[in-house]
A and B are shown apart, each in its own frame.
Chain A
Amino acid sequence: MLTRLPLFAPALAARPIAWRDGREIQLGEFALDVAAVASTLPARSAMLNLCEDRYRFLAAYAAALSVGHAALLPPTRTEQVLKEIEAAHPGSYRWDDAVVDAALSASQAAAATDLEIAAEQIATIGFTSGSTGRPQSYSKDWRSVNGSSACNARAIRAALDVADDAAVWILATVPPQHTYGMEFSVLLPLIAGMAVHAARPLFPADVAGALNELPTPRVLVSTPVHLRALVESPQPFPQVALTVSATAPLDRALAREVEAKLGGRLLEIFGSTETCAFASRRTAQDELWKLHDGVRLESTAEGTLVAAPWNRQPILLQDHVELHGTGEFRVQGRNADLIEVAGKRASLADLTRRVLAIDGVQDAVVFQPGAEAVATIRRLAALVVAPGRSVEQIHEQLAASVDPAFLPRPLLLVDALPRNELGKLPRAALLAALVNPNFQG
């Protein structure tokens, strides 16, 4: 007999699930919208959910699940990427804000809140963002999605010190189509009793305005690049109970500034498209990552095997970790970051940290361009943001702690790193920056 799991949890009609147009939306009303959208879906199998509005995204996602469709989560929404995904998934269809809106205006008499979804149904198909090579797809079934969400919810509720049934209000600066945005701004409202603001604010004033609308306790789901803008802005902010950060490493100094400016703790999340989030830490004071309940790690030569109760099999991550007991670990660097030059080994992440530690350096990345980009094979390159400092000064200080074989050449001073909207550094953008350091596409 097939196991079925709830589509809405808890399935209480009166619990808040979203904040939209200046008011709270309860599950009962949301379920009506989901039923309305579901009645308009085509007889196909996978939705490319392009909604920008998080409420519409949420309604379209739940509607797709309710009729047995998976959600394809495009890494970017450029036409070319969408076409590639469509070609790889025959049966897929695009759904956007306009079509969802048209469905929402159709009135429904009643809708059940106790819908159930088969545990084996494919719920999401995500794609790695391309910083590690060719985009690859990863499917997650409804059981797996439920398991990881329960752990994320526990981590947040523990950090907030609130009960399992207490309302929690989320504001997210990340798109719902990204794995992190999906886990923390879509699934937590849908199946972990939290509620989310429909907006995706960009500017500091937008973030402050949206936070001001929400009841407490408020949780801000964001990324290092967005958080840095908030900290540097003169904009005053309402206090949040918790800030969550993921997608790129957050340094401790920024973590402390965020806590000082926004109040509440900053919880940094560790995870990947393949595994979902599986660990967290309070970066302002902790170096060790704390594993989610039931997750076990095993170090291997190739990386780290992540065994999570919500995944059928352990998943190999390209990260090397040092285990501390059974519940904590320290990251030693990504496997792809481990490089060999003249028989010596170094970690790009470690080299980047060393550049960042130099006085006057605001942002930096050390990477391996490869033979095709520069004449010298295995020579590292670096892009560094350090107003007022010269290349010579940085090289000289770096030489104090780094083997000459690993000194980046070229080391280019740039005004900003070519980060994408999630703050990540796509390899193609790094290579382009080497050729034309200050023209970011």
Chain B
Amino acid sequence: MSAIQSAGERELAELIVTALNLEGVAPADIEPEAALFKTGLGLDSIDALELALEISKRYGFQLRSDDENNLRIFRSLRSLAAHIERHRTT
């Protein structure tokens, strides 16, 4: 039922579900292209802060938002995973 997640997307999906304790959401069911915020998983900016903290611990880099929309890289699992792949140090 869900589109195929890459290995990196799957690992990130698990981190999201664990970090934000999204009970009732199976990591494998998060659609790679679906919205994480507002609609979709319905996360908010405080979740983004929480997630950024977990990502800095797991992947060894600090998230930054260089554009006006603080949440652009959080648009979907796929965009966030791609961002992490470009910037991870661990």
Closest to A421 in B: B45
B64: contacting residue among A53, A206, A414, A436, CB under 8 A:
A206
Among the stretches A144-152, A227-235, A269-277, the one at the interface with B is: A227-235
Residue-wise, chain A 416-428 has the 8 Å CB interface mask toward B (1 for contact) of 1001110100000
Residue-wise, chain A 212-253 has the 8 Å CB interface mask toward B (1 for contact) of 000000000000011001001111000000000000000000
Does B20 sit within 8 A of A, measured CB to CB? yes
The answer on a CB contact under 8 Å between B21 and A438 is: yes
Q: How many residues of B contact A (CB 8 A)?
A: 27
Which residues B64-78 have CB closer than 8 A to chain A? 64-65, 68-70
B49: contacting residue among A202, A235, A440, CB under 8 A:
A202
The answer on a CB contact under 8 Å between B70 and A421 is: no
A204: contacting residue among B20, B52, B69, CB under 8 A:
B52
* A interface, size bucket: 20 to 34
Inter-chain CA distance A229–B45, complex, in Å, is 12
Does A437 sit within 8 A of B, measured CB to CB? yes
The answer on a CB contact under 8 Å between A203 and B42 is: no
Inter-chain contacts of A138 with B (CB < 8 A): none
Inter-chain CA distance A133–B42, complex, in Å, is 23
Does A395 sit within 8 A of B, measured CB to CB? no
Does A209 sit within 8 A of B, measured CB to CB? yes
Which residues B3-42 have CB closer than 8 A to chain A? 19-25, 42
Nearest chain A CB to B74 CB, angstrom units: 10
Inter-chain CA distance A421–B49, complex, in Å, is 10
The answer on a CB contact under 8 Å between B64 and A209 is: yes
The answer on a CB contact under 8 Å between A415 and B21 is: yes
Inter-chain contacts of A421 with B (CB < 8 A): 44-46
Does A200 sit within 8 A of B, measured CB to CB? yes
Does A441 sit within 8 A of B, measured CB to CB? yes
Nearest chain B CB to A97 CB, angstrom units: 7
The answer on a CB contact under 8 Å between A440 and B56 is: no
Inter-chain contacts of A205 with B (CB < 8 A): 62-64
Closest to B62 in A: A205
Does B85 sit within 8 A of A, measured CB to CB? no
Which residues A346-366 have CB closer than 8 A to chain B? none
Inter-chain CA distance A73–B69, complex, in Å, is 20
The answer on a CB contact under 8 Å between B23 and A203 is: no
Nearest chain B CB to A190 CB, angstrom units: 22
Q: Sample 6 A-B pairs with CB under 8 A, ordered by A number.
A: A203-B49, A203-B52, A204-B62, A205-B63, A233-B53, A436-B24
14 other A-B residue contacts (CB within 8 Å) besides A201-B65, A235-B56, A235-B62? A52-B68, A97-B68, A201-B70, A202-B70, A203-B49, A203-B52, A205-B64, A233-B53, A233-B56, A415-B21, A421-B45, A439-B25, A440-B42, A441-B42
Query: B: which residues have CB within 8 A of A?
Result: 19-25, 42-50, 52-53, 56-57, 62-65, 68-70
8 closest A-B pairs (Cβ-Cβ)?
A: A415-B21, A205-B62, A438-B23, A202-B70, A438-B21, A205-B64, A229-B49, A421-B45
